[in-house]
Amino acid sequence: MRSSTFFTLLSAITSVVASHEPPPNVPRSIEEFRQKYPYKTKGNSHRKVVKIRSSRNETDDVSNEFKAGLKRANHGGTLYLPKNELFIIGKPLDLTFLDDVQVHWDGEVKFTNDTPYWQANAFTHPFQKSIMFWKWGGKDIKIYGEGVLNGNGQRWWNEFAGREVLDPNNEYLRPILFYAENATNFEMQGIHEKDSPCWTNFIVTSKGISFSDVIVTAESNNASSLPKNTDFFDSLNVEDLTVKRAWVNIGDDCFSPKSNASNVHVDTMYCNGTHGQSMGSLGQYAGEMSFVKDVVIENVWLLNGQHGARLKTWAGPDVGYGFIDNVTFRNFYQANNEYSAFIDSCYFNIDTETCAEYPSMMNLTNISFENFTGYTSGKYGLAVAKLTCSTNPNAVCENITFKNFNITSPCDGEPVIICDGIKGDTGVDCVSSNSTEAIAALSKTCSVPLATVSPSF
């Protein structure tokens, strides 16, 4: 499910779900997000300031000047990109040499949309055949301001329409908007990341990563070519990650750390039209061990999307192994999502027979869903959560618990939670997917309008 309109929240649909009221002062547009969380410049005034020329038009490539500016600002300086100025990037940039550098980013950086050129010349990473416009890296890097990083994604979405990024036969690769590798102490503050062709951020083999007060949007002007795989955040081998105050209106995961993430804290996120707050996917590659551990995601609003809190692990004949441990989803408000909590142990597009023959080899332990309120879309009837653990006898699935879980369905009846394969007490009444209760609950489907806000913020 996807909405390209501004972020919205259902206040009261009295004819359907009369009891639901939104939390107070919930922003419903970028402007209201900035009003609620005003961003103020957070650089250091004593640093040397470097300026570069801006682009004269949409084809005036200043890639060389951008890289040269960062080299001049390196080791203690600040590259300044002024408001109302445009900086066109038309070739890949290796920016992995950075050391104690800041970018005061109030203007707009925009990539060209020459899809054949970028597919032939972009940097690459083997994980899910990733390609990227540029790569950042080094230590003590801060990007801050109220500027825009524009991926110019519409052409990419148009040409990708009907394809799947995880299809092994897919050869149409799309660049990631922001990529960093081997970064230590990296911060991004205030930036509006806009219209990424594929993932918005991909951080690899890095430590001490922080995003705050960021805005992330991907909105299409073509109803038959919507943004796809435009996740706000993906990672590989990342430790000590913080995300605070983010506005996300995209077409895929709102947040999605992948293999080998630890010590992660997300606090205050508004997500519209996304696939949810996801752990993974994990276990994709044969023989590889992957994990996510020690994660807290709290104070999240999820609207008009696929799922809410989600964990996804691969199954099949050639997959990896590992674990997800100590993950807390806390203080979630949801409106018009399919399942509010969802464990998928048969990712990606694995049929029932194959999953049964080659179940996931990922352990899931110590997962908590706390203080959930709101309602589902009714797509799955009265079923508001579905947790399906692996049937692999060697895969552990235990201490998966609910606390203050108050999600309802807009359909007529009491909400039902479906659980399969969980060891121990979940804290709520769960029924198996093949039970009479689950089958009946899933059959009572209905629908609700897109979530909207009233009264005004």
What does 214-255 look like in DSSP terms, one character per residue? EEEE---S-TTS---S--S-EEEEEEEEEEEEEEEE-SS-SB
| Pick from 412, 361, 411: nearest CA to 389 | 361
Calpha distance 301→334 (Å, rounded):
6
Bridge partners (DSSP) of residue 284 are none
What is the helix (H) or strand (E) element at residue 343, kind and residue range? strand 339-347
Is 125 one of the annotated active-site residues of the chain? no
Asked if residue 175 lies in contact with residue 129, where contact means CB atoms within 8 angstroms, the answer is no
What does 99-139 look like in DSSP terms, one character per residue? EEEEEEE-SEEEE---HHHHHHHSEEETGGGEEESEEEEEE
Is 252 one of the annotated active-site residues of the chain? yes
Bridge partners (DSSP) of residue 313 are 282
Tell me the two tokens of residue 410.
């807009």
Work out the end-to-end distance of the chain between its first and last CA atoms, rounded to an integer number of angstroms: 25
Catalytic residue among 252, 253, 325, 420: 252
Q: Which residue has the tokens 């050869």?
A: 171
Q: Reduce the DSSP state of residue 9 to 3 states and report it.
A: coil
| Pick from 306, 307, 310, 305: nearest CA to 329 | 310
Whole-number CA gyration radius for the chain: 22
Catalytic residue among 234, 275, 325, 344: 275
Calpha distance 88→132 (Å, rounded):
16
Long-range contacts of 87-91 (CB under 8 A, 24+ apart): 87/52, 87/54, 87/55, 87/62, 88/55, 88/58, 88/59, 88/60, 88/61, 88/62, 88/112, 89/61, 89/62, 89/63, 89/133, 89/134, 90/59, 90/61, 90/63, 90/114, 90/117, 91/61, 91/63, 91/121
Catalytic residues: 252, 275
